[in-house]
Structure 1
Amino acid sequence: MESVLFEVLHRSNPYVRRALESITLSGATISAFVIDFFCTSSLPIAAQLNIPTYFFVTSGATLVAFFLYFPIIHNTTTKSFKDMNTLLEVPGVPLIPSSDMIKPMLDRESTDYKKFLEFSLNLPNSAGIIVNTFENLEIKTLQTIREGKCNPNGHTPPVFSIGPLLATEDRRGAGAGAHDCLNWLDKQPIKSVVYLCFGSLGLLSLAQLREIAEGLEKSGLRFLWVVRSPPSDDYSKRFLPPAEPDLDLLLPAGFLDRTKDRGFVVKSWAPQVAVLNHGSVGGFVTHCGWNSVLEAVCEGVPMVAWPLYAEQKFNRVVLVEEMKVALRLEEAEDGFVAAEEVERRVRDLMETEKGKEIRKVVEEKSLEAKAAMAEGGSSIVALGKLTQLWKKG
């Protein structure tokens, strides 16, 4: 998917140039051009037109630190990340197992690796880096970046932490106040429910779905689980939304009946912000996508980290080792997670002292997130500085 995105956006460059030129020819001044890493190929266009360009990084500051340092790793190694079998040392970032590197970058010879390297080399050439995080969530990393330690041989642009940027919606769900799962949560005890959801692209095999079901049943805990159909065996359909899940076929026989008094299974989608905000939810099994992480942090919900794709294994290391807001789920070499591990980890999160410690940390971060977005908060101040730069431009 990443290769497709890079190529589609590269082929869009003539239209990007035409759009920028038409704005300037109309007499208007473009104060800033904001792009993400998939749009790196359009950076020279803006440079030719003397338009300041800012990269918006939708993940956290630790990923910014890695990308600034990535060219050094590239120039001092010869193996692919998947073959290194080592711990990567990046300033401002906890030690990252090379096998936990961003999934599309594991193969040094791949197109994705080369495109991400191109982004890393161009990141210092931008006018600034906008990050979807807040100062107190990644203090050490942001300080390390600003001190220039992640790009010791070159320039580090100013970094603006303006998050958490999340879709706003009614806390009962945008237009989904009567969603069955929220009504069900209303009847559950405070902080008693484990919520399981793996994002808009997170698809699990039939065998894995049944393993999760077994683990949840054995745990004896209350749960709210968003189930999506497994990925299609037809590769041509991989970019299409999965079919509506047939729960009776996907889950173990009798599972829904046996757990009906303490479990609720949702097909395909749930109003996640409203769910995490609900007082009955006490834990979150997540794929470690950054938006989901920020949503959980903002609502003070501790996590079990189960990464599936993209930069999620990288995020897991940060969540577990640096931020202390999640427990790590142990996987087999092929990524499969046994029912016993599902049971163990959800119980650890909900019932043990370790789980209580993580809950305390994430609840503190929740208060700090709200403060960052309040009047005079760090993210509002950073956004103000950014817009002042654009006004001067």
Structure 2
Amino acid sequence: MAEFAEVFLSHGYDVTMVIVPPPFKSSALGASQVEQIATANPSISFHVLPPIPAPDFASSPKHPFLLMLQMLRQYNDKLEGFLHSIPAYMFYVDAIDVAAKLGVPAYTFVPSGASSLAVVTQLPTLLAGRQAGLEELGDTPLEFLGVPPMPASHLIAELLAHPEEEKCKTMVTIFERGMDSRGVLVNTFESLESQAVRAFRDPLCVPGKVLPPVYCIGPLVSGGARNGEETDRHECLTWLDAQPERSVVFLCFGSMGTFSVGQLKEIAIGLEKSGQRFLWVVRVPGNINDPKRLLEKPCEPDLDALLPEGFLERTKDRGLVVKSWAPQVDVLNHPATSAFVTHCGWNSIMEGVMTGIPMLCWPLYAEQKMNKIFMTEDMGVGVEMEGYRTGFIKDEEVEAKVRLVMESNKEGRELQARMVARKKEAEAALEVGGSSHAAFVQFLLDVENLEEQLAR
């Protein structure tokens, strides 16, 4: 959202970001996160709504996802009060009911890509009237406009088993309502996902419904360290400074990506056997499908206990293992970095594309398996880590795929060439007159015209 706000600022607009205070501290969220983002973005005004009592996440029988949505709805009155208190005209996402009540046009910002948006936009029609879930279909390919055939197993897990459950119904409603706004701004660029973008204009996408315009305004990617942050430079960047150019494979799996102890050991063995330099971010093992993991107090991993005996000592001259977190954008932009093993989160994909770094795809949860299909079969920016479907990747696969992207073989060179081309496309899209710049300008014009119509 902060990167999105920077686009408005670059066009001369003032931006106020209204935030619901986090209801709990966790490994993924924290009350200090707002302060950190505000400090790093002094040009943006931040307004944190007055807190309301948080649901009892720990003991409630309801899924935390549903409790969170229930809490957000309760903030609508406070959001409405804030909007009444300011004279400025503003745009915001979510809370479509508040927008309608105040007569303010609401637009949807989608921080993920157009391809996954195309799938979830078409999902309600697919699920309508189904008594059974999609789990029984296994890897049977499903056809959606704008994207390659999608294995049923790769859809968001909560939609597969029980379409009649409240959580599934709530998610479907969110997908439907997200396209009920005046327009949808997507964190992508058109040439990367051109087929998906065209699908939204096809009347067959959602039969009987005219979808709002979709504006591709990305990639929205952080520039890395700024505003004096170099004084607190992470140790891994100093280590990268000492490595040869384009010699290091970077393994990082997002803020919530975790593995079993057994899987961590397989990764370590594969990296050691590959003989390649590596920078690896390791988090405490946990069940990635347990929503209550967010409630756990964050702690640092014990690397000696998690990794094979002697691994750190044997690889100390060519590898570095970082606990819990690394400055991903800065690492990907570093001259020593040559490849990226990623969980296929959309921000990570965009950061990989913007740096031209070949990616090895290891999806873990949410829409990441869908993203993997788009990356390998449509965009051509990544290579699959075989075994992700079963939830376990062997050391031989880690070794083979790391060698593929790090050594100068035919497939690796072709992937690198595609990444260079995609990087140039992304940069061109963001330039003045480029597709993403033009899309945002068109969005501003459309809003201005709409405002004039409403004023009449």
Q: Are residue 32 (structure 1) and residue 88 (structure 2) matched?
A: no
> Per-residue deviation at 1:143?
1.6
Provide closer, same or farther for how the CA distance between residues 23 and 354 of structure 1 changes in structure 2, counting only shifts above 3 A: same
Measured in 2, the distance between the counterparts of 1:259 and 1:160 equals 47
1:361 is the counterpart of 2:418: yes
Distance 1:48 1:55 in 2: 17
- CA shift for structure 1 position 13: 2.6
Residues 1:88 and 2:126 are matched in the alignment: no
Q: Match for 1:343 among 376, 394, 399?
A: 399
Contact 1:88 1:97 in 2 (8 A): yes
Tell me, in whole angstroms, the C-alpha distance in 2 between the residues paired with 1:272 and 1:27: 37
1:266 equivalent to 2:322? Answer yes
- Contact preservation (8 Å) 1:33, 1:54: yes
Q: Structure 1 residues 171, 355: closer, same or farther in 2, change over 3 A?
A: farther
Q: The residue matched to 2:107 in structure 1 has which SS? A: strand
Amino acid at match of 1:365: R
CA contact (8 A) 1:231 1:242 kept: no
Q: What are the ranges of 5 or more consecutive residues in structure 1 without an aligned counterpart?
A: 36-41
Matched, 1:192 2:247: yes
Matches within 5 A, 1:1-393: 3-21=63-81, 23-24=83-84, 26=85, 28=87, 30=89, 32-35=91-94, 42-75=95-128, 77-85=130-138, 86-107=140-161, 108-170=163-225, 174-175=229-230, 178-231=233-286, 238-331=294-387, 334-351=390-407, 352-392=409-449, 393=451
- The answer (yes or no) to whether the contact 2:190–2:216 under 8 Å persists in 1 is yes
Separation in structure 1 between the aligned mates of residue 321 and residue 118 of structure 2, nearest angstrom: 39
Look up the SS of the partner of 1:51 in the other structure: coil
1:379–1:247 CA distance, 2 compared to 1 (3 A): same
Larger CA deviation: 350-359 vs 56-65? 350-359
d(CA) in 2 for partners of 1:121, 1:9: 15
CA distance in 2, matches of 1:376, 1:147: 26
Q: Spell out, residue by residue over 1:257-277, the C-alpha distance to the aligned partner (whole angstroms, 9 max, x if none).
A: 111121111111111111101
Contact persistence 1:33–1:51 (CA under 8 A) = no
Q: Is the 8 A contact 2:64 2:291 kept in 1?
A: no
Which is further off, 101-110 or 289-298? Answer: 101-110
Q: Give the CA deviation at 1:311.
A: 0.7
Q: Distance in 2 between matches of 1:173 and 1:357?
A: 38
Letter in 2 for 1:289: G
Secondary structure in structure 2 of the residue aligned to 1:34: coil
Once residues 176 and 169 of structure 1 are traced to their aligned partners in structure 2, the CA distance between those partners, rounded to angstroms, is: 13
C-alpha separation in 2, matches of 1:385 and 1:333: 41
AA aligned to 2:418 is V
Instruction: Measure, in 1, the Cα distance between the counterparts of 2:420 and 2:202.
Output: 29
Which stretch has the larger CA shift, 78-87 or 200-209?
Answer: 78-87
Q: State the Cα distance separating 1:353 from its structure 2 match.
A: 1.4
SS at match of 1:304: strand
Taking a change above 3 Å as real, the CA distance of residues 326 and 82 of structure 1, as seen in their structure-2 partners, is same
Cα deviation, 1:54-103, whole Å, max 9, x if unaligned, reads 12111100012112211221137543122222111000011110011112
What TM-score do the two structures reach when normalised by structure 2? 0.78
Q: Deviations over 1:98-136 (max 9, x none)?
A: 011112322223433212211232234211111111112
Single out whichever of 105-114 and 216-225 deviates more from structure 2. Answer: 105-114
**Is contact 2:108–2:185 with CA below 8 Å preserved after alignment?**
yes
**Cα pair distance change 1:291/1:311, threshold 3 Å:** same
Note if contact 2:186-2:218 (Cα within 8 Å) is conserved in structure 1.
yes
Partner of 1:39: none
2:131 and 2:164 in contact (8 A); partners too: no
Instruction: Tell me whether 190-199 or 167-176 shows the greater mean CA deviation.
Output: 167-176
Gap runs ≥5 in structure 2: 1-56, 452-456
| Paired residue type of 1:99 | S
1:330 shift after superposition: 1.3
Kept in 2: contact 1:128–1:157 (CA 8 A): yes
Conserved? CA contact 1:32–1:390, under 8 Å: no
Aligned to 2:54: none
Single out whichever of 257-266 and 207-216 deviates more from structure 2. Answer: 257-266
Deviations 1:184-208 (A, max 9, x none): 2222222221110001000111111
1:216 partner letter:
L
How far apart are the structure 1 equivalents of 2:427 and 2:134? 37
RMSD: 2.6
Matched residues in 1 for 2:294 and 2:80: separation?
34
Residue 224 of structure 1 and its aligned partner are, at CA, apart by 0.8
Question: What SS does structure 2 have at the residue aligned with 1:150?
Answer: coil
Distance 1:57 1:217 in 2: 39
- 1:125 is paired with a residue whose SS is coil
Shift of 1:17: 3.4
Residue 304 of structure 1 deviates from its aligned partner by 0.5
Q: 1:22 to 1:190 in 2, by over 3 A?
A: closer
Question: What is the rounded CA distance, in whole Å, between the counterparts of 1:348 and 1:19 in structure 2?
Answer: 51
